Structure 1
Amino acid sequence: MMRPIIAPGEAARRLEMIFPRSAFDTTLTSPIAGWAVAAMIYIDAVAGEEETFWTRPSGLIWQQDSVLTGRTTDAERREWRRAASKNRQAVEALLDEWKIAVAPRFRENSRETLRDDILASLHELGAVRQRPGLATTSPAPRWALEASFADLFLPQLADEDLVRAVEEWTDTHLDAGYRLRAHRARSRESLDHVVTVTLPDGQRRTLEPSGSSLILKGVIEEWAPRRLADPVLLSVSEPGQKMDLTDGAMLAQLGVQIDVGALLPDALLADLGTEPVEFWIVEAVSTDGPIDTRRKRELLEWAAEHHIRPSSCRFLTAFASRNASPAKRRLKDLAIGTFAWFADEPESELGWCLIKNSEDAPLVLDERARRDDHGPEVP
């Protein structure tokens, strides 16, 4: 029996519990780090068991959401493992046999970051093992999770049991300096009230303590259920880390491929209750950064590059309050055809729209805004 699989997002969340951001390099809790752990568990690359299967960074990069979520039997996992241990052509041949489009989450050049920054750091911390006897220049597979570390990602381990397991692993596997850093960081974070968000599908995730995170929590929990017919959170970006793709399977279904290395909005939601699907691009403003004319143009370019039709894009700038300093300073700069929302008035929304057509000022008020009375009626 192979180990039970874990979703990349949940793996990243647990990595953050083990290696708090304020005490360790943030690459250890990045989306690609969570992806690597989930991909290694998927192929059972765990050292210290009956027979260790070693892997390469490229093999982890070739993994994709549709395989992680759709091919989960032990037989399918071993079949994928055999292909990934060979080369990319073998992987693409298997995907073709499974009638799955080639859609890796990360670019091929991400393997250097995975190898040099993430796996090497996890090895230093005793979480990952290198295959003994290999020359540094050898291309042979060399990486596997330590069994004790992989145990922290068992799906059945949750709540207080997970917290205890993380503490025990910290105390038995990290050296004194790292132990002290980890314990102090967890103590600080427990006092800093990590922002816990309930997603539209009922799942929960944590955001780092910040004003932007609190605003995003309001957008996801308060605004989206009121404004959207069938909301789905596709991605969220936090200060200090790249975007977390919260629903990779839905992104693939919608034909959207997000490059986490590109310009990023704070959140991307889809309304599956509209035809065609509407994509809401959200910026949470706790200090600065509303969707002004320049930012709207950049986001439209970003959307087009990621296979989102500009005509399906909607824009929301979210503030803590109308009385908040950022709102007082920047409401005047909102781009035409965008909306504003305030966390302390969750039942209301502002629309900044043209009220008439002219040759030099085309109408931009969208039909959804007209229909929901989010702006004056347009003749």
Structure 2
Amino acid sequence: MSLLPLASWDEIHRRLPVIFPDGSPNREHCVWEIAAKTIFVMLYAGAVEGAERWIRPDQVTRMTDTQATLTDDADRIQWSQDSMKPSKADVPGRWYAVNTRESIRDDTIRYALIQNGAVIERPGLATTSPAGRYALQNDFAELLVPGLSAEALEARISAWQKKHLNAGALARIAIVRRGAAAGGDHQLVTFPNGETRRMTAGPSSDISKAVIEVFAPTFLVKPGVITLSESGNKVVARDDELARAIGLTIPADRSLPDIVLVDLGPAHPLLVFVEVVHSDGPVNEARKAALLRIADQAGFGSKNVAFVTAFLDRGSATFRKAVGRMAWGSYAWFASEPNNLITLSSGSHAIEGS
């Protein structure tokens, strides 16, 4: 059986961000250079579904730039066989050090490419077996054929995504795309009581809109909006009557976060401070302490106050940058996965099963 035509690893690298758009699970490890080179080695060795050829992660580390230019079937088959043989000899110009094979196996293959339907694992193989166990899913390999026109590639990618990315992943991708592509000068935000407000269009406003229209009715029993601000602390909405009803004095300075919600469902209302993060600024320890003082002045104990940092997507660089500074005892919420919360628990708590 002849091997598939081979695109260069850098051409594969250029296609991966299109195949796995923003919002794809573990996208970072699907589109980085290691993923491109891992996929290249699978193609080079003919490890594609149905061919009964498989690779091991250490073969990726053994590939070299020189070897990658030898693309005749005979050269590819010979290298595939030789690279499977145990050897302690050094490989001049090898792509990766020997000890990176575990990272290639776990971060890139298992938790990214397999999870997203791009790679399959050989069935019935013992965990300790030295045999090759990974291959490209056949339809995915078809996305990497060299020389495809832009129109043909786009059609193949669209069909593959609909078939192999699960419904949750596709929904998440759609939300992230919609947030990134929102146009116009303003957008309309609908409050829980049915009132509407106009916000200047932009990524932060997209997240704010999701907090009010999706987060609030999902996680609060009877939600209300006390304040809503835009970037630059421009106040879009301010409900002084509702604030007075619960005993909250709204400062005139910039001490309040982007959104202040209240849940009027419990016997003692729950005050929810929300920071919207598109580029920076989560609820950190200092911010949490300042907001607790405001809540305390209104008679809200710490048990009746919640702190949320809202992001567009869990896979974003923004979240990875901010999570290390988020306050213990606060929450992270993502517009792309609206039914879930990440809890940064403080103190000793028992771990419960899902």
TM-score by length of 2: 0.47
Q: Highest Rg: 1 or 2?
A: 2
TM-score by length of 1: 0.44
